[in-house]
């Protein structure tokens, strides 16, 4: 058998070899790490069951507090008061911070949180720290998440009385592959192996597929394909998916997501109640943190109340002579957050457009996530679908984790005699993946919403005469220009035969498997010969670690355009 001379592999913590060497030794559990709340579910042999912690809670607050020597998370510890979480000692919202560089607007928005988020705005990871005994103790979102996952794992192991290793995690649609590796790293730190990462709405879609199959719609025969729109808005992210379901198979037609959620609503509202809060809290002194905590709790309460009543009285003493006394009504709340809601609407429209599905063809509209309790969110979705009634067969907070548990059982090879697990999700790629070519453009090789597993191939060629080397720089995202996208990695091809420009054919092939591992292959051919001139290179992506903003800049500085590629127009 012909062996290629080189294998290029990233030494990242998640190699595919590791993944496939475990042929599902035990059933995976489903974990939904939310920006504000977490839950764990497992297939118990006949149905999905949510695990409860020692305080009998199914939903656990996602935070880790560094107050004592041993950090403890929201699974085991109990807050005496909501404000304790806001004392500066606890880190939360890690799902919003994970895998982001300090130029990201989301990181900047997190500066208003009681713990410390500092940025240098140069494209490196932000400095994050918790206040422990009057000292800022630095940490990372990965570490915080890992501590939290360790607690979740311990809880699941005590309850299920078996070791847990495999998990199915839900992630937001808009997560880049780099962020996904951060999540995987956190899992590795917690001793967990990620069997599948599911975009949240696709987990909901799987639950929907199961419900459809159970409810006997499928007995009608072949014509029972149902199209559902899933709108999932939690504290940190808003995701939309369109799925076509028949016979327990949920086929994801399109995905759309954005980093908007309850946290934005909360921050806008805080800003509205106390217009110069940003300046006030930027010092991060002990007193400021305390007032910020009080304001946050009061605002959160007010928003919760506005879901059931039309107006709410806010009466809060922030200390330092600052007092807020105000009546806020629903209309005011909606006006303050108009932009957020408009973004939500745009996501739904984009998803419908991408899937090429008309509003009339959608059989069910499902809203889940914490924000789905907000009347305005319900209204905006129903008004897009011309007053269609929302699907009410699901618990909005438990849908995603239940779907993850189902996927965990299916992907672990568990089968059920009653056919309840006769399910499948056919995933689609949430973001396009391409390489830099034609100058500073990104040419997508695998477009968005391609059915997974996917493999696509494209041919490129050199831009200079006698160019013997070229760079393959892989990006993820929807932007046309490189700086609008996430850099995933790069490698250099050497040994291109000396030839005039445009002659060598550089084939770039991308392969995504069902567990979402991306491999990029590149080979060089000369026209007329089917054989590669140099051994094919295979690189697992992403290869970049931190500071990816710098990488691209450094590449540009070192090589300029000398190693560029252009796309070859497909021959007709």
Binding site for another protein (CB under 8 A): 1-12, 16-17, 20-21, 23-24, 196, 222-223, 225, 246-249, 251, 407, 410-411, 413, 422, 424-426, 451-457, 491, 507, 509, 511, 513-515, 521, 523, 530-532, 535-536, 538-539, 543-545
CB of residue 327 vs another protein: minimum separation in angstroms? 52
Which residue, 111 or 456, is less far from another protein as judged by CB? 456
Which residue, 214 or 271, is less far from another protein as judged by CB? 214
- The beta strand positions in 369-452, using DSSP E, are 424-426, 433-437, 441-446
Determine the Cα–Cα distance for residues 89 and 69; give it in Å rounded to an integer: 12
Which residue, 475 or 491, is less far from another protein as judged by CB? 491
Determine the Cα–Cα distance for residues 510 and 488; give it in Å rounded to an integer: 13
Which residue, 161 or 531, is less far from another protein as judged by CB? 531
> Is omega for the bond preceding 453 within 30 degrees of 0, making it cis?
yes
CB of residue 521 vs another protein: minimum separation in angstroms? 5
Q: Which of 220, 222, 166, 171 is nearest to 194 (CA)?
A: 166
Q: How many residues does the chain have?
A: 572
The phi, psi pair for 242, rounded to 5°, reads -115, 130
Judge contact between 96 and 36, C-beta under 8 A. no
Judge contact between 60 and 39, C-beta under 8 A. yes
Q: What is the DSSP track for 51-66? A: ---TT--SSEE-EEE-
CB of residue 252 vs another protein: minimum separation in angstroms? 12
Q: What angle do CA 469, 474, 478 make, to 5 degrees?
A: 140
CB of residue 519 vs another protein: minimum separation in angstroms? 8
Which residue, 347 or 409, is less far from another protein as judged by CB? 409
Listed in sequence order, the residues at least 6 apart from 75 whose beta carbon sits closer than 8 Å to its beta carbon are 38, 53, 60, 148, 151, 152, 154, 155
SS3 393: coil
Which residue, 109 or 534, is less far from another protein as judged by CB? 534
CB of residue 474 vs another protein: minimum separation in angstroms? 13
Judge contact between 259 and 220, C-beta under 8 A. no
CB of residue 535 vs another protein: minimum separation in angstroms? 6
Which residue, 8 or 120, is less far from another protein as judged by CB? 8
Judge contact between 230 and 204, C-beta under 8 A. yes
Which residue, 246 or 316, is less far from another protein as judged by CB? 246
Determine the Cα–Cα distance for residues 140 and 252; give it in Å rounded to an integer: 33
Distances (CA, A) of 309 to 233, 312, 479: 21, 7, 42
CB of residue 358 vs another protein: minimum separation in angstroms? 16
Which residue, 143 or 407, is less far from another protein as judged by CB? 407
Instruction: Kindly report the number of other CB atoms within 10 A of residue 245's CB atom.
Output: 27
Determine the Cα–Cα distance for residues 100 and 547; give it in Å rounded to an integer: 10
Determine the Cα–Cα distance for residues 226 and 220; give it in Å rounded to an integer: 12
Which residue, 152 or 432, is less far from another protein as judged by CB? 432
CB of residue 187 vs another protein: minimum separation in angstroms? 19
Determine the Cα–Cα distance for residues 393 and 395; give it in Å rounded to an integer: 7
Which residue, 17 or 389, is less far from another protein as judged by CB? 17
CB of residue 491 vs another protein: minimum separation in angstroms? 6
Q: What does R_g of the chain's alpha carbons equal in angstroms?
A: 25
Which residue, 112 or 461, is less far from another protein as judged by CB? 461
Which residue, 137 or 519, is less far from another protein as judged by CB? 519
CB of residue 453 vs another protein: minimum separation in angstroms? 5
Q: What angle do CA 121, 99, 184 make, to 5 degrees?
A: 165
Listed in sequence order, the residues at least 6 apart from 349 whose beta carbon sits closer than 8 Å to its beta carbon are 384
The phi, psi pair for 181, rounded to 5°, reads -65, -30
CB of residue 357 vs another protein: minimum separation in angstroms? 14
Q: At what angle do helices 262-273 and 338-355 cross, to 10 degrees?
A: 160
CB of residue 127 vs another protein: minimum separation in angstroms? 23
Instruction: Kindly report the number of other CB atoms within 10 A of residue 417's CB atom.
Output: 7
CB of residue 428 vs another protein: minimum separation in angstroms? 10
């Amino acid at each position: 058998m012909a062996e290629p001379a080189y294998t290029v592999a990233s030494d990242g913590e998640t190699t595919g070899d590791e993944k496939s060497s475990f042929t599902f030794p035990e059933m995976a559990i489903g974990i939904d790490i939310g920006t504000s709340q977490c839950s764990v579910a497992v297939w118990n042999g006949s149905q999905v069951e949510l695990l409860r912690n020692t305080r009998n809670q199914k939903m656990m607050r996602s935070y880790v507090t560094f107050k004592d020597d041993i950090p403890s998370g929201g699974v085991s510890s109990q807050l005496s008061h909501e404000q304790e979480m806001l004392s500066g000692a606890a880190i939360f919202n890690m799902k919003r911070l994970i895998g982001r560089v300090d130029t990201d607007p989301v990181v900047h928005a997190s500066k208003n949180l009681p713990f410390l988020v500092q940025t240098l705005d140069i494209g490196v990871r932000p400095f994050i720290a918790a206040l422990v005994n009057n000292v800022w103790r630095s940490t990372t979102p990965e570490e915080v998440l890992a501590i939290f996952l360790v607690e979740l794992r311990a809880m699941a192991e005590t309850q299920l009385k078996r070791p847990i290793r495999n998990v199915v995690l839900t992630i937001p649609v808009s997560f880049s592959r780099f962020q996904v590796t951060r999540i995987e790293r956190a899992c590795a730190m917690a001793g967990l192996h990620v069997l599948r990462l599911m975009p949240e709405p696709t987990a909901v879609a799987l639950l929907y597929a199961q419900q459809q199959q159970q409810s006997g719609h499928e007995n009608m025969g072949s014509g029972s394909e149902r199209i559902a729109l899933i709108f999932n808005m939690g504290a940190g992210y808003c995701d939309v998916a369109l799925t076509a379901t028949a016979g327990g198979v949920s086929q994801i037609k399109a995905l759309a997501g954005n980093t908007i959620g309850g946290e934005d609503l909360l921050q806008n509202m805080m800003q509205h109640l106390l217009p110069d809060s940003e300046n006030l809290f930027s010092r991060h002194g002990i007193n400021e943190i305390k007032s910020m905590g009080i304001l946050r709790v009061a605002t959160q309460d007010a928003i919760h109340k506005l879901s059931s009543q039309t107006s709410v009285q806010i009466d809060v003493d922030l200390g330092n002579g600052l007092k807020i006394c105000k009546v806020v009504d629903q209309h005011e709340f909606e006006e303050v957050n108009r932009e957020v809601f408009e973004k939500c609407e745009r996501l739904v429209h984009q998803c419908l457009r991408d899937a090429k599905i008309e509003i009339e063809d959608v059989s069910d509209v499902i809203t889940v996530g914490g924000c789905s309790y907000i009347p305005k969110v319900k209204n905006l979705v129903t008004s897009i679908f011309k007053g269609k009634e929302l699907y009410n067969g699901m618990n909005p907070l438990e849908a995603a984790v239940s779907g993850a548990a189902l996927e965990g059982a299916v992907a672990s090879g568990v089968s059920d005699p009653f056919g309840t697990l006769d399910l499948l999700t056919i995933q689609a790629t949430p973001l396009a993946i391409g390489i830099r070519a034609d100058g500073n453009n990104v040419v997508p090789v695998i477009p968005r919403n391609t059915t997974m597993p996917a493999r696509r191939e494209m041919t490129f060629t050199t831009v200079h005469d006698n160019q013997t080397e070229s760079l393959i720089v892989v990006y993820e995202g929807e932007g046309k220009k490189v700086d609008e996208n996430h850099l995933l990695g790069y490698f250099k091809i050497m040994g291109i035969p000396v030839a005039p420009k445009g002659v060598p054919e550089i084939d770039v092939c991308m392969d995504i498997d069902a567990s979402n591992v991306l491999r990029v292959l590149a080979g060089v051919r000369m026209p007329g010969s089917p054989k590669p001139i140099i051994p094919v290179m295979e690189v697992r992506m992403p290869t970049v670690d931190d500071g990816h903003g710098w990488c691209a800049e450094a590449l540009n500085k070192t090589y300029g355009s000398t190693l560029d590629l252009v796309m070859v127009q497909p021959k007709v």
